[in-house]
Amino acid sequence: MATINVNGRSMQVDASPDTPVLWVLRDELGMTGTKFGCGMALCGACTVHLDGAPVRSCSLPLSAAVGHRITTIEAMSGTPVGKAVQASWVAQDVPQCGYCQSGQIMSASALLARNRKPTDADIDQAMSGNICRCGTYNQIRAAIKQAAASLTGRA
């Protein structure tokens, strides 16, 4: 048994210490908003926040998450940045198949939490770990800029 903090709640999980947080969330806790894409931290579909920083949960063992705050897509509407990002994603109608978008939103939210005026280079830097096979990249970029504008009162 391990205790982890997910979206502000303490959760008891019965999983081996090497189990990636991705599978703890999905299979143990039934939180399926975080997606499996590659299992090797190459695609970003599984991105969550660990103490506010974006991490690839497919490669983060449970043992390394104990004592830290995990935040998932399911809690993003509860934060001002997450709410702004989700609103801009809706306004831009970003998703197509949508499978990568939880991870995209987690990466974008982490970027905007520390940088309210990201340049294109900042966006490339923060988002190039997230693959979108439908090719919504230009809409993702537009949505990040729109969310940034709304967060800094420029909307």
Partner 1 sequence: MTDILNLSRGKALGTTSRRDFLRATGLAAGGLTLGFALPAASRLALAAAPTDTTINAFLRIAADGTCTVVCGLSEMGQGVHTAIPMLIAEELDADWTRVKVEQAPVDKAYSNPIFGMQATGGSTSIRGHWEPMRKVGAAARAMLVSAAAETWKVPASECRTERGQVIHSSGKRLAYGKLAASAAKQPVPETVTLKDASKFTILGRNLRRLDTPPKVNGSAKYGIDVRLPGMLTAVMARLPVPGAKVVSFDATKAKAVPGVRQVLQIPSGVAVLADGYWAAKKGRDALEIQWDAGISGNLSSASVSAMLADGAARAGAVAHTVGDVAAVKPARTLEASYEAPYLSHTCMEPLNCTAWVHDGEAEIWSGTQSQGPSQGIVSQIAGVAPGKVKINTLYLGGGFGRRFAPDFTIDAAMLSKAAGVPVKLVYTREDDTRAWFYRPAGVTRFTAGLDAAGVAQSFTATVASPSIMESSGFMKIPPNGVDHFAVEGTEDHPYDFPNQRIDYSRVEPGVRVWFWRSVGHSQNIFFTESFVDEMAGAAGKDPFEYRRGLLSRQPRYRAALELAAERAGWGKPLPAGVHRGIAVGQSFGSYVAEVAEVSVAADGSIKVHRVVCAVDCGQVVNPDIVKRQMESAIIYGMTAALYGRITLKDGRVEQGNFDTYPMVRINEVPPIEVHIVASTEKPGGVGEPGLPPFAPAVANAIFAATGKRLRELPFDTSQLKRA
Provide the binding-site residues for partner 1, judged by CB under 8 A.
15-16, 19-20, 23, 26-28, 30-40, 42-43, 45, 72-74, 76-77, 86, 89-90, 93-102, 105, 123-124, 127-141
In this complex, which beta carbon is closest to partner 1, that of residue 53 or of residue 97?
Answer: 97
Residue 147 Cβ vs partner 1, minimum distance, rounded to whole Å: 11
Distances (CA, A) of 81 to 77, 88, 96, 125, 148: 8, 11, 22, 19, 9
Angle of CA points 45, 137, 101, to nearest 5°: 30
In this complex, which beta carbon is closest to partner 1, that of residue 10 or of residue 16?
Answer: 16
CA distance 130 to 101: 9
In this complex, which beta carbon is closest to partner 1, that of residue 29 or of residue 113?
Answer: 29
Instruction: Please list the residues that pair with 69 across neighbouring strands.
Output: 5
Residue 63 Cβ vs partner 1, minimum distance, rounded to whole Å: 13
